[in-house]
Chain A
Amino acid sequence: GDWARLAARQALSQDRLLEFDSFGNVTLIHVTDIHGQLVPVWFREPEVNIGVGAAEGQPPHVTGADFLKLYGIAPGTPEAYALSYVDFVSLARSYGRMGGLDRVATVIKAIRADRPEALLLDGGDTWHGSYTCLRSDAQDMVNAMNLLKPDAMTSHWEFTLGLDRVNEIVEGLDFAFLGANIFDAEWDEPAYEPYRIFERGGAKIAVIGQAFPYLPIANPNWMFPGLSFGVREERMAEMVREVRGKGADLVVVLSHNGFDVDRKMAGSVPGIDVILTGHTHDALPEPVMVGQTLLIASGSNGKFVTRLDLDVREGRMMGFRHKLIPVFSDAIAPDPEMAALIERERAPYRDEMAEVLGTTDGLLYRRGNFNGTWDDLICNALIEEREADIALSPGFRWGPSLLPGEPITREDLYNATAMTYPNAYRSEMTGEMLHTILEDVADNLFNPDPYYQQGGDMVRVGGMGYRIDVTRPQGSRITGMTLLKTGEPIDPARSYVVSGWASVNEGTEGPPIWQVVEDYVKRQGTVRVDPNKSVVVSGA
């Protein structure tokens, strides 16, 4: 009730959240994977996040009660709410929404007041993911970030705006757009600035950018023709040698590799002091050390800001102090300047965003390796509205949550679906083809070598169940595929009507996914998503 809510919030104060004993001479501020979220959101952290190979059982592949135990966090505390899924709904009602770029701005300004030379670094997936971002061609996020004044950013979903739009924005940015691994595919030459060297706190700090390596595979390559990405470990090693040669005292990689890829890179490329990780949306309250390299994971959707203070002397990192600052939107005062900008960016769309489409009976969330209720809802909508046997919804990691009983507004729906290739196709696929797709995607997630992983979650499936053994090699992980409506095994030779969205193929036809789901939600009034028990996981 209200009393519990009040008591909970008294434990939270802006001063306490921002409390930090300055350390050393250099401060890095890291935000990443904001996904267009200007205003506070609910965001439930994953319940299922399986690590394979060397990452098995290692952070960030520890969730729930195990996570709380590992980091010594008491259940029911603000930290438990922010960092794990345990008791999410009741704690959400106590502690409120998280994030909001106006609150993020307050945190950043406070750090800068304490350490004026702090570097602000944005890990990318910034210009994507909301109604206003889609409608304004990301101008809302560009304006907001320009006000925050980062020193550099790297990228992933940015490129789904199309290459011309990206380059138009980049030309006007007054900070660096870095990507050491982005190459012109024709002549194999660097296409964007690889790194920038900053002089701060008496030290030379090199920031090397690493864009998402698998953009042309995970997203439609026709949207950014002529560019090639890739992990390019040797290129990273060359960049580290180059910046050290130019006298860098500290080497920071601003990365969108995904956590496990960064963990491998930290172990195989010598000379990196700090990797600011991104893409896999992990939030870790402490750095992970790989040899002498610090790996920082700052969450997603504006939920967290990382402050990392470093003592850098004579070309060496001598020590650090770290805090993953949770952005509790009810405890941190909005920065008035940013609040006014957000208001201006949202005003033209306010009425259409606010329209209530229906109500959700249960919690809607997406994050998790196999399914989330948001995608279950999308799959149900695809099966009904597109008259399909089976529905496929991509394993995106973005998309905030909605609490039970809340209205679903058009803005909420776009938070889970807004992107530039939204068409909901309807086609026929054989059982064999469906098996090939599941095996292919599963290997992108569970290949024991992180350099073969793409960092998305497993494709979500409606209308069909299956078993997966994550320890098996590609081709033999997926068994027991079953058509749920009949209970019969999927016949490899038979064709099934499949509907899905976010195809990477050019010219995919069909209504945008938000239209399909809006129609469905409006007809349902109150949507209920039954617990999904159709995927049985083993080996984890």
Chain B
Amino acid sequence: SAGLAAALMLPASAVRAAVEDKIAEFTGGADAGADGITLTTPEIAENGNTVPIEVEAPGAVEIMVVASANPTPDVARVSFGPLAGAQRLSTRIRLGGTQDVIAVAKMGDGSFRRAANTVKVTIGGCGG
């Protein structure tokens, strides 16, 4: 809704820096590959307050999810134990406006994988 979008008027550069800091803290500054991680999000959020997301990275020990333009970027961090049947998690998140959702996976061999999707948060209201 329009109200949600208005809550987003933080300086873009400050937000971007906070997101990259958050990711660097997780990766220790290591580069992240783009293969071997799948992030599934709706193209357009039906409701910015509850956006379904799913992330899967076979062989990951831990996955971090951040929202690139929320007031604070943190969303969730999941670690997978020995009885995880897959390195996959689905949940629902809040997005204050159109932005990228970013997932970074730490793999068993210490390398990192990264995926990002744009989720649009819209006013809506027309149809064919």
A and B touch in the complex (CB under 8 A): yes
Question: Residues on A close to B: CB < 8 A?
Answer: 33, 125, 156-157, 185, 188, 212, 214, 216-219, 221, 228-231, 234, 258, 279-281, 394-398, 433, 436-437, 440-441, 443-444, 447, 449, 451-452, 454-457, 459, 474, 502-504
Q: How far is the CA of A243 from the CA of B127 in the complex (A)?
A: 31
Q: How far is the CA of A219 from the CA of B128 in the complex (A)?
A: 10
Does B40 count as interface, using CB distance less than 8 angstroms? yes
A-B CB contact pairs (8 Å), 29 listed: A33-B128, A156-B127, A157-B127, A185-B46, A188-B90, A216-B47, A217-B46, A221-B46, A230-B42, A230-B43, A230-B46, A280-B128, A394-B125, A394-B126, A436-B5, A440-B122, A441-B123, A441-B125, A441-B126, A443-B120, A444-B124, A447-B120, A451-B43, A454-B126, A454-B127, A455-B127, A455-B128, A459-B126, A502-B125
Does B2 count as interface, using CB distance less than 8 angstroms? yes
Does B44 count as interface, using CB distance less than 8 angstroms? yes
Q: How far is the CA of A214 from the CA of B45 in the complex (A)?
A: 9
**With a CB–CB cut-off of 8 A, which chain A residues contact B47?**
216, 221
Which A-chain residue is minimally distant from B38 (CB atoms)? A234
Q: A188-B52, A234-B40, A452-B120 are in contact. Are A218 and B125 (CB under 8 A)?
A: yes
Contact B124 A504 (CB under 8 A): yes
Contact B44 A397 (CB under 8 A): no
**With a CB–CB cut-off of 8 A, which chain A residues contact B40?**
234
Q: Which of B33-51 contact A (CB under 8 A)?
A: 40, 42-44, 46-47, 50
From A212, A440, A441, residue with most partner B Cβ within 10 Å: A440
Contact A214 B124 (CB under 8 A): yes
Q: Which of B83-128 contact A (CB under 8 A)?
A: 90, 98, 120, 122-128
**With a CB–CB cut-off of 8 A, which chain A residues contact B50?**
185
B49-62 interface code vs A (CB 8 A; 1 in, 0 out): 01010000000000
Minimum distance in angstroms from A448 CB to a CB of chain B = 12
Which A-chain residue is minimally distant from B1 (CB atoms)? A505
Q: Is the interface of B mostly helix, strand, loop or mixed?
A: loop
Q: Identify which of B90, B123, B128 contacts A440 (C-beta below 8 A).
A: B123
Given contacts A221-B46, A443-B120, A503-B125, 11 further A-B contacts (CB under 8 A): A185-B50, A212-B127, A218-B125, A221-B47, A230-B46, A394-B125, A433-B2, A440-B124, A454-B127, A457-B128, A459-B126
Contact A436 B124 (CB under 8 A): no
Q: How far is the CA of A455 from the CA of B120 in the complex (A)?
A: 15
Which A-chain residue is minimally distant from B120 (CB atoms)? A452
How many chain B residues touch the partner (CB < 8 A)? 20
From B5, B40, B50, B128, residue with most partner A Cβ within 10 Å: B128
Contact B123 A437 (CB under 8 A): yes
Contacts between the two chains (Cβ within 8 Å), count: 92
Which A-chain residue is minimally distant from B128 (CB atoms)? A397
Contact A217 B44 (CB under 8 A): yes
**With a CB–CB cut-off of 8 A, which chain B residues contact A456?**
126-128
From B47, B52, B123, residue with most partner A Cβ within 10 Å: B123
**With a CB–CB cut-off of 8 A, which chain B residues contact A398?**
128
Closest 5 CB pairs of A and B: A456-B126, A217-B124, A218-B127, A397-B128, A216-B46
Contact B126 A228 (CB under 8 A): no
Q: Which of B7-28 contact A (CB under 8 A)?
A: none
Minimum distance in angstroms from A378 CB to a CB of chain B = 14
Minimum distance in angstroms from A142 CB to a CB of chain B = 21
Contact B124 A218 (CB under 8 A): yes
Q: How far is the CA of A228 from the CA of B98 in the complex (A)?
A: 19
Q: A234-B40, A456-B128 are in contact. Are A228 and B52 (CB under 8 A)?
A: yes
Which B-chain residue is minimally distant from A449 (CB atoms)? B43
Which B-chain residue is minimally distant from A160 (CB atoms)? B127
Minimum distance in angstroms from B11 CB to a CB of chain A = 16
**With a CB–CB cut-off of 8 A, which chain B residues contact A447?**
120
Q: How far is the CA of A476 from the CA of B5 in the complex (A)?
A: 16
Contact A396 B127 (CB under 8 A): yes
From B42, B124, B126, residue with most partner A Cβ within 10 Å: B126
Q: Identify which of B5, B90, B125, B126 contacts A457 (C-beta below 8 A).
A: B126
**With a CB–CB cut-off of 8 A, which chain A residues contact B98?**
474
**With a CB–CB cut-off of 8 A, which chain B residues contact A455?**
127-128
Q: How far is the CA of A231 from the CA of B52 in the complex (A)?
A: 13
Q: How far is the CA of A13 from the CA of B90 in the complex (A)?
A: 58
**With a CB–CB cut-off of 8 A, which chain B residues contact A502?**
125
Minimum distance in angstroms from B65 CB to a CB of chain A = 17
**With a CB–CB cut-off of 8 A, which chain B residues contact A433?**
2
